[in-house]
């Protein structure tokens, strides 16, 4: 029923003395007038905006430097003031999008000005200034849009720094970890944790690979993320940090399965003394944490964080770790009758089996036989695991 129908129908009900006039008004009030969305107006605004944009873009090269600056600064002001005004008048969505546009204009303005005056940049400093602007907007308006924007700016800036300058931009890192990290810690919102942890993983990759650290420092960085989880989670929330750390370390172990067999990677693992100190501190901390936690099974996760790169057969050991992780979750899941753990263990076990198969059989068998046998193997495995799972579910319900 929509409002118009109610208005029509209720008129008859009043006439038939089913309801009174006041009741009719109350009924109608239950169906608020729909806001007529001004679709045409929105399109008109977009078109006019695009018109301006293309006009400026096509005349950009003929313009004098100062008039270009005027356009950049003018449009920056316009969008900022418009956004602020709209937010004050509680047109939040409009205000946010205007402010976000202004923030983007500021970023573009830095690069355009730099190009105009032949600035050569030697670092990702422009991104840092840009991220500061985004961060201040978040702190003023406490709006998650600006938080996400700032995470994106810092992360993209960091990737840019890694690719173009082969270095990790320290200030961007500090801003990301302590500024944005503090926001995540304060609010304990799942969405923010998710965005932050994706950013964290990308930052870690840039740090390790652009600065030429050996890859195994990632183990420490992921373990840190795993441990930080306690700080950003409320009771009953999904443990985002922990899950993303586990996922990352699983992928890392997968790479180890394939690459630790090569001498190049093995030779990189010479001076790992400092790594072991840092790792030991974090690991002991993690063990203690899992020991005092109410749930006595989380030590299983820690298996994945054991470094195996110092051994000549590190690739095999990585496989052992993965299998251990999968089997232990499977077994504990069956014992404790926790469906989630069983599912986790099952998926991990299947994937690991596939990895092991790829690793061991690819070189010896011809291709078609390889896929054929692999398929059969997976078939048998899934059949067996599924049967076991069903028994378990039945047993659990009985």
Query: Residue numbers of the site for another protein (CB under 8 A)?
Result: 65-66, 69, 72-73, 76-77, 80-81, 84, 88, 106, 109-110, 113-114, 116-120, 122, 129, 133, 136-137, 140, 165-167
Look at the block and give the residue holding tokens 């991104």: 127
The answer to whether 396 and 336 are in contact (CB under 8 A) is no
The DSSP symbol for 171 reads H
Least Cα distance to 152 among 167, 166, 138, 140 occurs for 138
For another protein, give the closer residue by CB, 45 or 164.
Answer: 164
For another protein, give the closer residue by CB, 130 or 349.
Answer: 130
Least Å from the CB of residue 78 to another protein: 11
For another protein, give the closer residue by CB, 134 or 307.
Answer: 134
Please tell me the distance from the alpha carbon of residue 4 to that of residue 7, in angstroms, as a whole number: 5
Please tell me the distance from the alpha carbon of residue 187 to that of residue 168, in angstroms, as a whole number: 28
Residues 6+ apart with CB under 8 A from 145: 96, 100
| The two three-digit tokens of residue 83, written as one number | 């956004």
The answer to whether 178 and 186 are in contact (CB under 8 A) is no
Least Å from the CB of residue 114 to another protein: 7
Phi, psi of 296 (to 5 degrees): -85, 10
Burial class (CB in 10 A: 0-12, 13-18, 19+), 329: buried
For another protein, give the closer residue by CB, 161 or 346.
Answer: 161
For another protein, give the closer residue by CB, 72 or 219.
Answer: 72
For another protein, give the closer residue by CB, 137 or 218.
Answer: 137
Q: How far from the centroid of its chain's Cα atoms is residue 225's Cα?
A: 13
Least Cα distance to 183 among 218, 142, 239 occurs for 142
For another protein, give the closer residue by CB, 109 or 333.
Answer: 109
Helix axes 190-210, 144-165, angle to 10 degrees: 10
Least Å from the CB of residue 57 to another protein: 16
Least Å from the CB of residue 108 to another protein: 11
Instruction: Count the neighbouring beta carbons within 10 Å of the beta carbon of residue 357.
Output: 16
Least Å from the CB of residue 186 to another protein: 18
Helix ranges (H only) for the chain are: 3-15, 21-29, 39-59, 65-88, 92-116, 125-141, 144-165, 170-174, 181-187, 190-210, 217-228, 240-259, 263-267, 273-292, 299-302, 314-336, 339-361, 367-397
Least Å from the CB of residue 247 to another protein: 33
Least Å from the CB of residue 4 to another protein: 42
Please tell me the distance from the alpha carbon of residue 41 to that of residue 39, in angstroms, as a whole number: 5
Instruction: Count the neighbouring beta carbons within 10 Å of the beta carbon of residue 290.
Output: 16
For another protein, give the closer residue by CB, 77 or 339.
Answer: 77
Least Å from the CB of residue 115 to another protein: 9
Least Å from the CB of residue 48 to another protein: 24
For another protein, give the closer residue by CB, 130 or 305.
Answer: 130
Please tell me the distance from the alpha carbon of residue 357 to that of residue 375, in angstroms, as a whole number: 11
For another protein, give the closer residue by CB, 84 or 268.
Answer: 84
Please tell me the distance from the alpha carbon of residue 138 to that of residue 148, in angstroms, as a whole number: 9
Least Å from the CB of residue 277 to another protein: 25
| The two three-digit tokens of residue 235, written as one number | 């009771």
């Amino acid at each position: 029923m929509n409002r118009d129908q109610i208005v029509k129908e209720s008129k008859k009900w009043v006439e038939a003395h089913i309801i009174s006039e006041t009741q009719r008004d109350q009924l109608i009030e239950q169906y608020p007038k729909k806001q007529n969305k001004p679709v045409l107006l929105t399109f008109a605004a977009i078109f006019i905006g695009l018109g301006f944009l293309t006009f400026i873009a096509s005349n950009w090269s003929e313009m004098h430097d100062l008039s270009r600056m005027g356009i950049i600064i003018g449009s920056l002001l316009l969008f900022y003031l418009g956004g602020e005004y709209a937010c004050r008048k509680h047109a939040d969505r409009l205000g946010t999008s205007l402010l976000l546009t202004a923030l983007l204009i500021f970023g573009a303005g830095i690069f355009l000005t730099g190009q105009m005056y032949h600035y050569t940049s030697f670092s990702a400093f422009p991104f840092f200034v840009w991220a500061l602007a985004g961060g201040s907007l978040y702190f003023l308006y406490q709006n998650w849009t600006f938080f996400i924007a700032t995470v994106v700016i810092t992360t993209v800036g960091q990737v840019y720094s890694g690719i173009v300058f082969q270095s990790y931009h320290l200030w961007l890192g500090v801003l990301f970890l302590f500024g944005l990290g503090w926001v995540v810690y304060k609010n304990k919102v799942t969405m923010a944790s998710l965005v932050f942890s994706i950013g964290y993983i990308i930052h870690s990759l840039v740090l390790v690979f652009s600065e030429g650290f050996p890859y195994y420092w990632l183990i420490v960085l992921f373990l840190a993320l795993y441990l930080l989880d306690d700080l950003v989670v409320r009771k009953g929330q999904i443990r985002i940090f922990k899950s993303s750390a586990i996922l990352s370390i699983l992928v890392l172990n997968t790479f180890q399965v394939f690459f630790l067999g090569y001498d190049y990677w093995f030779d990189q693992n010479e001076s790992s003394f400092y790594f072991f100190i840092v790792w030991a501190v974090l690991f002991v901390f993690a063990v203690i944490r899992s020991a005092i936690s109410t749930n006595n099974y989380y030590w299983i996760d820690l298996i994945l964080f054991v470094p195996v790169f110092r051994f000549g057969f590190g690739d095999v050991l990585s496989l052992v770790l993965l299998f251990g992780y999968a089997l232990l979750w499977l077994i504990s899941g069956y014992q404790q009758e926790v469906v989630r753990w069983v599912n986790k263990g099952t998926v991990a076990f299947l994937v690991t089996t596939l990895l092991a198969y790829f690793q061991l059989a690819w070189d010896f068998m011809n291709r078609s036989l390889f896929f054929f046998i692999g398929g059969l193997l997976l078939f048998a495995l899934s059949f067996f695991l599924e049967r076991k799972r069903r028994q378990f579910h039945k047993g659990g319900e009985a």
